[in-house]
Amino acid sequence: MKDYQGKTAVITGAGSGFGLEVARIAAARGMNLVLCDVQQDALDRVAQEFSAHPVLAQRVDVAKADEMEALAAAVQARFGAPHFVFNNAGVGSGGLIWENSLNDWEWVLGVNLMGVVHGVRLFTPMMLAAAQADPSWQGHIVNTASMAGMLNPPNMGVYNVSKHAVVSLSETLYQDLSLVTDQVKCSVLCPFFVPTGITQSHRNRPSELQGSKPTRSQLISQAQTDKAVSSGKLSAADVARMVFDAMDEERFYIFSHPQALQGVQTRLEDVMQGRNPTDPFKDRPEIGAGLRKALRDA
């Protein structure tokens, strides 16, 4: 997909981070914008930023099927089938995996996984119908996962699970689309530590899914993630450009930090050789030692 002028982009999590920066590039390329976010004030700000463009701004909790269904209906009525769907909304949560509450699981999987599920199940049929009606029609779906969807870093299990599921969903979507069309493509975005605001995603956690007082492991995870994200060398705008480069090239995997793939190779070698999972801190033993001490002294 290379021609964007006059086409329509649906972007979830458009109020900040990757969603906002992707919206800026989409606007610069002449696209109609469908902007979705659960945070109303952030959504209002971005809608105002793009007021000179054809815009549909709608507050949506992507975890809720009825809200996503209403969004899809509104998109169809306003613009018809979207050409670019960026299933991007996401939240973060960490801690030792047995310490995550049921509310933690429902919140993280609801947004990170079911938000993508809803985007795929609702918009893919619209795109396929448009492609069938017009042999020149092209579309692209991009799902935001994470390098945590390719690796299993400790002390952030609920997040890892959600992002591994998005990678699996996206790889399956790629294969399924290839069975039925050459006109609709997909990609999976796997960023590493990039400043986006996701470490503060608890600000939008629904009241009915609030967690209890954070455990020590959860506080440690939050502090480590905050430090890693704030020290990231790439910006959300850099990653947004990678998203469009991948669509231009019809490339499936989008890695913000290709150097992190060494860890993926090690994990796959563990699997192929039947060996126990490699210590993720083998190259930075001081970090592993510090984490173990902090958790064992609790």
Catalytic residue numbers, as ranges = 159
Please answer whether residues 93 and 99 qualify as being in contact, where contact means their C-beta atoms are separated by less than 8 angstroms. Answer: no
CA separation, residue 76 to residues 8, 50, 125, 138, 141 (Å): 10, 20, 12, 16, 16
142 secondary structure, DSSP code: E
Which amino acid is it at 108?
A: V
Which amino acid is it at 180?
A: V
Write out the H or E segment, with its range, that includes residue 58. Answer: strand 55-59
Q: Which of 195, 226, 193, 202 is nearest to 92 (CA)?
A: 202
H/E/C letters for each residue in 105-129?
Answer: HHHHHHHHHHHHHHHHHHHHHHHHH
Alpha-carbon distance of 198 to 154, in angstroms, equals 18
Alpha-carbon distance of 76 to 129, in angstroms, equals 12
